[in-house]
Amino acid sequence: MSDKVNTAATEATKAPKESKAGESKSQEPTEGGALSNKELKELKKREKAAKRAAQKEAQGISPEQQQKLAEQKKEKNQERQMATNTNLRKKLDSSLIKDDNKKKIPAMFSHLETREQRNASSPSISHIVHPAILSLSLKISSYKIVGSIPRLTSMLEVFKTIIKDYKTPSNTSLQRHLTGHLSHQIEYLKSARPLSVSMGNAIRWLKQEISHIPLDLKELEAKTLLCEKIDDFIKEKIELSDRVIIENASKHITNGSTILTFGHSQVLEQLFKYCVTEQNKMFNLVIVDSRPLFEGKKLLRNLVDTHYMPGSEEVGSETTSEVSSISSRGPKPKPITQDFIKVHYVLINSLSSTILEDVDCVFLGAHAMLSNGRLYSRVGTGLIAMMCHNRNIPVLTCCESVKFSDKVQLDSVTNNELADSEDLLQNLNGKEAPKKKAVALEQFMKQFEHNEPQAPVKPTQKGKSQPKKITVGEEERDSKHESPLKDWKNIPNLNILNIMYDLTPPEYIKKVITELGALPPSSVPVILREYRST
Amino acid sequence: MSQDFDITQVYLKFLEDDQDMTMPIAAIESLVTMLRIKQPSTSSELINLVKSNTDKLKSSISNAISLSAGCDLFMRFVLRNINLYSDWESCRRDLVENGELFVQRAKESRSKAAQFGLPFIKDDDIILVHSFSRVVYQMLLMAKKEKLIRFRVIVTESRPSEKGYHMASLLRTAGIPVEVIVDNAVGYVIHKVDKIIVGAEGVAESGGIINHIGSYQIGCLAKTNNKPFYVVTESHKFVRLFPLAPDDLPNQISPVLSATNSSINAILESESDNPKSLLSIQQIDFTPHEFITALITDLGVLTPSAVSEELIKIWYD
């Protein structure tokens, strides 16, 4: 009962208080004298309530009406409280989502942070977040930017703009304040997706660089110095490293060999292009892909978009835009997939059959390399490595040293990233990558639906800004073709798990190619030691 | 005088003059000699000279794995030292001097490795040895002469080079009981063998070894029979190579064999209707690291994965 009701009630019952006290006292001995204080209080309360009810009935209000009144008062009270609350939305989000999602993750993975929890816990600091970070986190959370290295480079680019726009407050120094300022931005970035290992490594490096800036340096100079350092970092740790890795790895792609790869990795994409454009190799490529992100399609598209001039001896790597200008004169450029790379595109389910029969070599991308030699990569990698190891196909992985982590992990359960379960339900026809859904909007819609059940929500365009997949499904499919998972949130004991990464044990990996050389996975700690020392 | 210098000739002469010299040391020696004779006048000329001669040497010698290890090591040594001096004359002089020191040290490493390996040999051991290896021989000799350990050795015949006979005769003169078996009989004797000791042409980055053909099979047999498989080698044989399979090795496909080996020549020269002409001959194979128990080197006894650590230390410090 809320206070309001109580005070009103006490006023009403003030008069007969004395008599009531006397009554209760007289009752005491009849009950056997064994009543404790607590029981006594309970008894008094009951009496009070009974009296109040009696009084109200005397005034002409029925007990049902009384209850209604009380509820109304309660609601009013709550509303007021919420209005005064500063982070009203945050509370609403977290409370509402948490309880209807907690059950929706298998108990084994319940310790992992869901996207909703991440969003809900996103700090209320959006007003000091740089707009570049806002747009970056949007891109990352909608998988527009996906993959460890693209995320890292775009993050560093954004950091550069942040540093350029940064002004040190009057009573502090850049060395002290900028780190904290960046931390806020990173905090916000984390709400999009957890930071990758490479991003963590880069952030650690950047913070160290900031603290190493000499104190007597002017702000502008310090800022340009930092930007230069970031540029160098990108160049040294990513671009040049990739070149070295590619040169090393290209030895394993020979004319006529068959290479298998999984999903999309930036360095592998460059490797395949390099083998064609620089070395004129012809080989077969099996791209294994999987739901829900279909990153293999991205690799395929990028390969198809790479062109060469058929007439000339040397193959140039022109992008489509350049090509269009050239095409007016001379022979027409052809995509490299036409003559050089024969591509098979398969889904991971068909891996077991004849696909593996004449594969010579498997190249896998990496998200991180853990210090016990385990490869932490897109979910499905472990399966492929295991199958290929079983068939004695060498499994190689290309991994820049910035992705090396000194963590040790024994299974992929303790630490992983949960993606949105809806992604697995979305586009079952698999035409495009899943869209980001706006949590706040969804909350709003949910409330809306509560008030007006079955309010028809018109989808503007397929999947666009339309967080509710269910409504899209309703429009698109006949009721008989409806997905059985449509109402999964309301089916008890039905969980949907969409996990991002898995671990590949070191015994399945033959070789890790880094810019420091190729090594067996057992030598990962060596790289870590080298990396830390530099 | 600089025109008529032929690095390959010098190299072969070094090998011929000193039967105890291994290929990487001969390569380094010939490079140092080359520097002494050619007298380069700028550092870039020096680097180019070393580079071109290394390439020449590598291409002219058929089995270039341990050779290239030596060349790469010397190149690394040159590049690291070249920045240390301000004055070019002293730099060049020191380079030649240090090169000689380098050769000296490399030569000593064999006895060092043998020294580290001594505790592995015990009384009453039966040791299986594959082919001929100077460092294995030195180790066995030391165990016999210095430690007075009584052990027996089984040597494989190691076709096609048949260097096993050479090893056996050397061991017999040293007074070690020795027995030669054909390569196919390794499985027959493996159950009574206590340990297997082999040398190496080169050690790959993974810790796997490139060695005389047949080592891989012995490694497999040793693993299934749970016998320790030791590799005794000098650290200058560590190469920056990482073959995935034996056919990844450079120069492996073409079985160009050295002209000195008479038995193979006989096979090659036999008439074409002879069924032996169908024989394809390989000289070296690659034993992956999972079959190797330990590498006994002049740096100490290493696990296979420690090799990449040593290599990274050499190349990135």
Mutate to test the interface with B, among A389, A508, A523 (most CBs of B within 10 A): A523
- Give the gap in angstroms from C-alpha A354 to the nearest C-alpha of chain B: 23
Any domain includes A92: no
Q: What is the pLDDT of residue B205?
A: 86
A63 assigned to some structural domain: no
Inter-chain touch A517–B315, beta carbons under 8 Å: yes
pLDDT at A433 over 70: no
Neighbour tally for A74: CB within 10 Å: 14
- All residues of chain B having their beta carbon less than 8 Å from the beta carbon of residue A396 are 244
Question: Taking 70 as the threshold, does the pLDDT of residue A148 lie above it?
Answer: yes
Q: Which residues pair with A376 in a beta bridge?
A: A368, A503
Residues A509 and A486 in one domain: no
Name which of B205, B244, B316 is nearest A519 (Cβ-Cβ): B205
Name the percent of chain B in helix, strand, coil, to the closest 5: 55, 15, 35
Structure confidence at residue A27 (pLDDT):
45
To probe the interface with B, which of A526, A527, A530, A534 has the most B CB atoms within 10 Å? A526
Q: What is the mean pLDDT of residues B102-123?
A: 88
Closest CB from B240, B308, B316 relative to A520: B308
Alpha-carbon separation of residue A50 from A27, A58, A107, A296, B87 (angstroms): 16, 12, 46, 71, 107
Say whether both A274 and A256 belong to one domain: yes
Which H or E element spans position A190?
helix A174-190
The torsion region of residue B39 among left (phi > 0), alpha (psi -120 to 50) and beta comes to left
* Dist. CA B296–CA B110, nearest whole Å: 10
Residue A227 is predicted with a pLDDT of 94
Which residues of B touch chain A, with CB atoms under 8 Å apart?
205-207, 240, 242, 244-245, 289, 304-305, 308-309, 311-312, 315-316
**Does A88 map to a domain?**
no
The rounded distance, in Å, linking the Cα atoms of A530 and B316 is 8
Mean residue pLDDT across chain B: 83
**Residue A20: its pLDDT value, please?**
45
CA–CA gap between residue B254 and residue B280 (Å, rounded): 10
Same domain? A122 vs A209: yes
A527 at interface of B, judged by CB pairs closer than 8 A: yes
Contacts A241 to B, Cβ<8 Å:
none
Count of positions (residues) in chain A: 534
Nearest Cβ partner for A517 among B240, B244, B289 = B240
Portion of chain A with pLDDT greater than 70, in percent: 67
Instruction: Tell me, yes or no, whether A4 lies in a domain.
Output: no
CA distance B145 to chain A (A): 38
For residue A107, what are its two tokens?
Answer: 């108990």
Average pLDDT in the A262-278 region? 93
From A217, A235, A253, give the residue that closes a domain. Answer: A235
User: Which residues in chain A are contacts of B311 at CB distance < 8 A?
Assistant: 517
Residue to substitute from B287, B309, B317, interface A, most A β-carbons within 10 A? B309
Which of A206, A235, A264 lies at the terminal end of a domain, its last residue?
A235
Top mean pLDDT of A64-68, A465-469, B189-193 is at B189-193
Q: For all residues of chain A together, what is the average pLDDT? A: 76
- For strand B300-302 and strand B294-297, is the pairing parallel, antiparallel, or unpaired? antiparallel
Q: Does residue A56 sit within a domain?
A: no
In a mutational test of the B interface, the residue from A371, A522, A531, A534 whose CB has the highest number of chain B CBs within 10 Å is A522
Biggest alpha carbon–alpha carbon distance for chain B:
67
Q: Which residues of B touch A398 (CB under 8 A)?
A: none
The DSSP string of A473-488 is HHHHS-GGG--TTTTG
Give domain status of residue A258, yes or no.
yes
| Residue A237 DSSP label | I
Residue among B291, B290, B288, B294 at smallest CA distance from B306 = B294
Give the span between the Cα atoms of A233 and A337, in whole angstroms. Answer: 33
Residues A185 and A310 in one domain: no
Residue B144 pLDDT level (bands cut at 50, 70, 90): very high
At B232, give phi and psi (nearest 5°).
Answer: -105, 125
Residue type, A418: L
Say what the pLDDT of residue B279 is: 75
**A266 — pLDDT class (breaks 50, 70, 90):** very high
Question: Looking at beta carbons, which residues of chain B come within 8 Å of A519?
Answer: 205-206, 242, 308, 312
| Pair A252, A171 in one domain | no
Q: Whole domain around residue A456: which residue ranges?
A: 422-490
Banded pLDDT at B311 (limits 50, 70, 90): confident
With CA atoms as reference, report the closest residue to A226 among A159, A170, A168, A321: A159
> What is the phi-psi region of residue A143: left when phi exceeds 0, alpha when psi lies from -120 to 50, beta otherwise?
left
Per-residue tokens: B290: 């999972």
Q: Does position B191 have pLDDT exceeding 80, yes or no?
A: yes
Residue A305's domain is classified under what CATH number?
Answer: 3.40.50.10470
Residue B298 backbone dihedrals phi, psi, to 5 degrees: -70, -10
Last residue of a domain, one of A174, A209, A235: A235
Which has the higher per-residue pLDDT, A3 or A396? A396
Q: Are residues A362 and A274 in the same domain?
A: yes
Q: Which pairing describes strands A334-335 and A307-308: parallel, antiparallel, or unpaired? A: antiparallel
In a domain, residue A70? The reply is: no
Sort out which chain A residues have CB atoms less than 8 A from B309's CB and list them: 523, 526
Crossing angle for the helix pair A174-190 and A219-233, to the nearest 10 degrees? 50
Q: A514 and A481: one domain?
A: no
A291 and A228 inside one domain: no
- Please list every residue in chain B whose beta carbon sits closer than 8 Å to the beta carbon of residue A527: 312
CA angle in degrees (0–180, nearest 5) for A415-A420-A424: 110
Nearest CA to A382 among A397, A372, A404?
A397
Q: Is A253 left (phi over 0), alpha (psi -120 to 50) or beta?
A: beta
* Whether A520 and B207 lie within 8 Å, measured CB to CB: yes
pLDDT digits (tens, 9 = 90+) for A307-336: 887 655 444 444 444 444 444 556 677 888
State CA A26 to chain mean position distance: 67
Q: Measured between alpha carbons, how far is residue A91 from residues A104, A112, A481, A534 in Å?
A: 20, 20, 38, 45
Distances (CA, A) of A85 to A111, A178, A198: 29, 31, 38
- A261 and A230 in a common domain: no
Mean pLDDT, residues A425-453 taken together: 62
A515 and A376 inside one domain: yes
Q: Is the pLDDT at A166 greater than 50, yes or no?
A: yes
Burial of A523 (0-12, 13-18, 19+ CB in 10 A): buried
What are the structural domains, with CATH classification, of chain B?
7-108 (1.20.120), 114-315 (3.40.50.10470)
Inter-chain CB proximity A520 and B309 less than 8 Å: no
Give the residue with greater pLDDT, B310 vs B148. B148
Report how many domains make up chain A. Answer: 3
- ipTM for the complex? 0.77
A238 and A154 Cβ atoms separated by less than 8 Å = no
